[in-house]
Amino acid sequence: MGAPTGYASSPGQLPTARARGQVCRRTGCLAPAERDGLCEVHALDQKRRLAVAVATPVGPTSTRTTLNLSALADIARAREARWRQTAACRGQTEVMYPSHGRGTTAADYAPALALCAACPVVEPCREAGAHERHGVWGGTTPAGRVGRRKAAG
């Protein structure tokens, strides 16, 4: 499978792609550049650093610092995007949702569980899918998640 549009398909192409503004300018990031030479995640991270705390003048010599809730929501979206970008199952919906809508056996989940076993982001995935009714999330099947919820109380 080739690299998606905007990605450097080999390490030798990375400096050229980065110089053309096709790849995020942050070291180590291979995501396509979108805004100001940054990928979506790093652009949100930069926005967060600039806008989380907002100083509001209260008097001639004092200010009150408040949180910018919009920037905090951007942080949450960036964190969500970050782990999803590195998931082993990215782009393999049919594997992660076997026999959707029909009876599913344990054997139907085996390929998805094998992907999860080698995935670097299994913990955040498990947390994100804790209340999902379908598919494999973080190495858990729908029945397994119901059991975890019941055990947790």
Same domain, 100 and 81: no
Amino acid at 6: G
Same domain, 112 and 134: yes
Q: Is position 1 within any domain?
A: no
pLDDT of residue 40: 74
Q: Name 120's Cβ contacts closer than 8 Å, sequence gap at least 6.
A: 86, 88
Same domain, 57 and 39: yes
Amino acid at 108: D
Q: Is position 25 within any domain?
A: yes
**115 in Cβ contact with 91 (< 8 Å):** no
pLDDT of residue 116: 93
From 63, 85, 107, give the residue that closes a domain. Answer: 85
Amino acid at 81: A
* Whole-model pTM over 0.85: no
Number of domains composing the chain: 2
Same domain, 100 and 77: no
* 55-64: average pLDDT: 67
> Who has greater pLDDT, 74 or 91?
91
Same domain, 52 and 15: yes
pLDDT of residue 33: 77
Same domain, 45 and 79: yes
From 33, 63, 85, give the residue that closes a domain. Answer: 85
* 23-49: average pLDDT: 72
12-21, 59-68, 72-81 — most confident range: 72-81
Q: Is position 146 within any domain?
A: yes
Q: Is position 51 within any domain?
A: yes
Phi, psi of 63 (to 5 degrees): -135, 160
Question: Taking the CB of residue 102, how many other CB atoms lie within 10 A of it?
Answer: 7
Instruction: Residue 112: name the closest of 91, 122, 98, 132 by CA.
Output: 98
Q: Where are the alpha helices (DSSP H) in 3-141?
A: 14-19, 40-51, 69-85, 93-96, 106-117, 122-128
Q: How far apart are CA 74 and CA 53, in angstroms?
A: 13
**42 in Cβ contact with 27 (< 8 Å):** no
Taking only the tens place, the pLDDT of each residue in 106-123 is: 888 999 999 999 999 999
pLDDT of residue 117: 93
Structural domain span for residue 119 = 93-152
Q: Is position 21 within any domain?
A: yes
* 65-90: average pLDDT: 76
Q: Is position 3 within any domain?
A: no
Same domain, 99 and 132: yes
Please give the span between the terminal C-alpha atoms of the chain, in angstroms, as a whole number.
44
